[in-house]
Every structure is written in C-alpha cells, then in structure tokens.
Amino acid sequence: MAIISRARIWATVRRIPSGNVATYGQVATVAGFDGHARQVGYALAALPADSGVPWHRVVNSFGEISQRRGGDSHELQRILLEQEGVEFGANGKIDLSRYRWKVRHPARRERPSD
DNA sequence: AAACTGACTAATA
DNA sequence: CTATTAGCCAGTT
C-alpha cells in the first residue's frame, strides 16, 4: 500500500486535458490510489492558489461541482469549465459520457459501464 | 502526541 | 427523492 501523496494526485490532475473533466474517483484510480476518491478531494483542498494545476476539471461522480466548506471557488470552477467548452445541463450537471477524461492507460476503470 | 480538518463514493433504508 | 453508514488518509495545530 503506497503512501497517498498529494503531489502524486496533483500530478495526475495536471494530465486532464482542457475541455475534459474527471471524477475524484477517476483521479484516484489513475494515480494508483483506487478507492480513495476522498483523499483526492482533500489533496485539492490543500492545493496552493498558484500551483498551475487544473483543479477545476475535477468534479464528483454525478458530474456536479462539489461545494467547498469555506470560500467561493466553486463558482470560479464552473466559469473556467464553460470557458473550456464544457456545457452544463439545466440541473447544473455535466454529461460525463461526453466530457469525461479518457485515460490512455487506465490502471482500472472507475465504472465498467463504458 | 492527540485532535482536528477536508473538493468523495457506494450502498442501504 | 433525502438520510444515514461506512470506508478513506495526510497535513496542520
């Protein structure tokens, strides 16, 4: 069991292409921490503002933007995604079947349904 | 060293 | 649909 380092998670998030999104669980899987979606959220919460990591491309498993406890960066997240061409439905959700990041070499898919 | 903190997900009722 | 339960771990105070 490898130690889940925030740096490793950030490096994975950096690989998400513009115009795509990944779920927390997907980032965890690709980073080699399958089943540790929550730690991904924790890692992003600790991200420095000037890191250059495209944190806004990470959404929850429903294709929705997760709310922060304090702060208002979730509003910025939607704006940034829309600027990259990601469309939101009337319910505020992203169509994951359309925008979800397709990993070249997945350790294992988060959801086997595709 | 112990307590506290925090962007999740799946299963169940 | 909402609510609850359970698993999850590093960094900071």
| Beta bridge partner(s), residue A21 | A100
Span CA (A8) to C1' (C10), Å = 12
pLDDT tens for A28-38 read 999 999 999 99
pLDDT tens column, A99-114: 999 987 655 444 443 4
Dump pLDDT digits (tens) for A50-88.
889 999 999 999 999 999 887 778 889 999 999 999 999
> Residue A107 CA to nucleotide C9 C1', Å?
21
| Coil, helix or strand at residue A83 | helix
DSSP string across A29-59: HHHT-TT-HHHHHHHHHT--TTS---GGGEE
Alpha-carbon distance of A33 to A4, in angstroms, equals: 7
CB A80 under 7 Å to nucleic chain B: no
How far: A80 CA to C5 C1' (Å)? 35
